Structure 1
Amino acid sequence: MLRKGMKIGKKIDEIIVGDRFQITEKIEDKDLLLYLGLTNDSNPLYVQHDYAVETPYKKPLVPIIMLNGIITSAISKHMPGPGSHIREQNLVYLEPVYHYETIEILMEVQHINKSENLVDIYVTAYKEKNTPVIEGILKVYPPY
C-alpha cells in the first residue's frame, strides 16, 4: 500500500528512451504454492510430477501468469515505478520455465508518447544458459 509521502515512480518527463531495468528471480516452492493457493489453480502440469513426466515437458511448469506477475510487479515497483499503470501487454512465451529455475528479466523503454503519457517497454527474459523464455512489449502509463 502506498503510504502518504511515499515517493512515486518516474513521471513521463523523467523517462528517456533507453532507460533499462533488470531483475533476477529464482522460482521457489513458496512462490508457486502462494500463487496456486491464491488462484485455486490445480492444473496437474504445474503441481504433479507424476503427470508432468508423461508430457513432452517431463517436469512441472511454472504458470505463465505467474511469470507475467513478476514482470508487472517490476513495472509497478521499479520501472516506471509506484503510481504507474499497464494499459496493454503483448508477451510471447517462447520456452517453458520449470520449478527452481532462475529467470533474468530485462526491460527497456523503446518509445515515449508524452501527449498520451504512455511509454512502450520492451521485455525479454532468459533462463539458465541464456535460453530466451519471454519477449514482448508493454504499454505503460507512468505516474501522473
Structure 2
Amino acid sequence: MLGKRVKLGRFIEELSVGETFLKEEKMEDRELLLYLGLTDDANPLYIQHDYTAQTPVKKPIVPSIMLSGMITSTISKHFPGPGSQILSQSLQFIHPVYHYETIEISLKILELNRDSETIKIDVVANKDNRNVIKGEILVRTPYRPKELDEYVFQNF
C-alpha cells in the first residue's frame, strides 16, 4: 500500500449546491443473507413469510439499516466519493421495501460549508415513483492527503 496513490472523491471546491447523483439498488438474496449473517438479526419481519403474512407489511421486508447502508455506501463510493465521512444522518423510512425490489436513490447537495469542508445532502429513495425513504445526511468531503516526505518513515 505504501506509495500507492489512492483515488479520492471530490473535494469541497469541486462540488456545488443543487448538484445531484442517482443510483439504482436491487434487493437481492445475497445482500440480505450477508446482512442477516453479519448482524445475527433474526427479526421475523425480514425473513419469515408466515409471520409477515399476518402483519400490515404482508411479506418480508428489507431491514432499514441495510437500506441506510446502501445510501451511505453510495455517498462513500460516488458522491462525493472515497475519503468522505458521514458525520450525521436523519432518515425516515416511509414505506417498506420488499425483497427483490429496486429502489432509486437520489442525492442532492443542499448546502456547502467551505470552512468545515462539509456538505448537507438531501436523500430521497423511490420505488415505483413513490417515496420510500427521505432525509438528510451531513458529509465531510475527503481529507487531502499529505505529500510523502522524509518524515514518513520516522516511526520505523
Q: Which range, TM-score by smaller chain?
A: over 0.9
Q: Deviations over 1:57-108 (max 9, x none)?
A: 1100100000000000001000110000010101111101011111000001
Supply the AA of the counterpart residue of 1:11.
F
Paired residue secondary structure (1:116): coil
Distance 2:127 2:69 in 1: 16
Q: Distance in 2 between matches of 1:60 and 1:68?
A: 17
Please tell me whether residue 142 in structure 1 is matched to residue 141 in structure 2: yes
Q: TM-score, normalised by structure 1?
A: 0.95
Please give the residue correspondences for 1:122-141 in structure 2 after superposition, counting only pairs within 5 Å.
122-128=122-128, 130-141=129-140
- 2:88 is aligned to 88
Q: Secondary structure at the match of 2:51?
A: helix
Helix, strand or coil at the partner of 2:115: helix
Superposed counterparts of 1:33-112, under 5 Å: 33-112=33-112
Structure 2 distance, partners of 1:127, 1:4, is: 40
The runs of 5 or more residues in structure 2 that have no matched partner are: 144-156
TM-score by length of 2: 0.88
Give the C-alpha shift of residue 4 in structure 1: 2.6
Identity %: 55
Count matched residues.
142
Matched AA of 2:130:
T
**Deviation at residue 6 of structure 1 after TM alignment:** 2.4
Specify every segment of 5 or more residues in structure 1 that has no aligned partner in the other structure, as ranges. Answer: none
Over the residues paired in the alignment, what is the CA RMSD in angstroms?
1.3
- Give me the whole-angstrom Cα distance separating, in 2, the residues matched to 1:63 and 1:85: 23
**1 CA distance for matches of 2:133 and 2:4?**
35
Task: Give distance in 1, aligned partners of 2:4 and 2:139.
Answer: 23
Higher helix share: 1
Looking at structure 1, the residues matched to 7 and 130 of structure 2 have their Cα atoms a distance apart, in angstroms, of 36
> Partner of 1:67: helix, strand, or coil?
helix
